[in-house]
Amino acid sequence: TQLLEQSPQFLSIQEGENLTVYCNSSSVFSSLQWYRQEPGEGPVLLVTVVTGGEVKKLKRLTFQFGDARKDSSLHITAAQPGDTGLYLCAGSSNYKLTFGKGTLLTVNP
């Protein structure tokens, strides 16, 4: 069974702070996706990373795929209250998508 460990599980910060959340596994993935889920809604895809070492930027969000394609990180610069939500990573291998349990981020005004 492939497991994706996300850390931290909970993160509460003030508006304007920077943060990084992590997604780690002992398994190699062909690609990795990051989703954000808000209360009462389903997860929404933020980005897909495919190549080891790949870095993608989405406004204030920076996503990195590890060189060995086993881990990933999400860095948010100058967090805003609108960034509040559950951040999920999902690894793809053999056509299966496995989700981590997520990091619940709260950005306080």
Partner 1 sequence: DSGVTQTPKHLITATGQRVTLRCSPRSGDLSVYWYQQSLDQGLQFLIQYYNGEERAKGNILERFSAQQFPDLHSELNLSSLELGDSALYFCASSAGTASGANVLTFGAGSRLTVL
Q: Which residues bind partner 1 (CB under 8 A)?
A: 29-31, 33, 40-45, 48, 88, 92-102
| Tokens, residue 41 | 């809604």
Which residue, 26 or 30, has its beta carbon nearer to partner 1?
A: 30
Closest approach, Cβ 59 to partner 1, in A, equals 19
Which residue, 19 or 86, has its beta carbon nearer to partner 1?
A: 86
Which residue, 45 or 68, has its beta carbon nearer to partner 1?
A: 45
Task: Say how far apart CA 18 and CA 69 lie, in whole Å.
Answer: 24
Helix (H, G, I), strand (E, B) or coil at 35: strand
Q: Cβ(38)–Cβ(85) under 8 Å?
A: yes
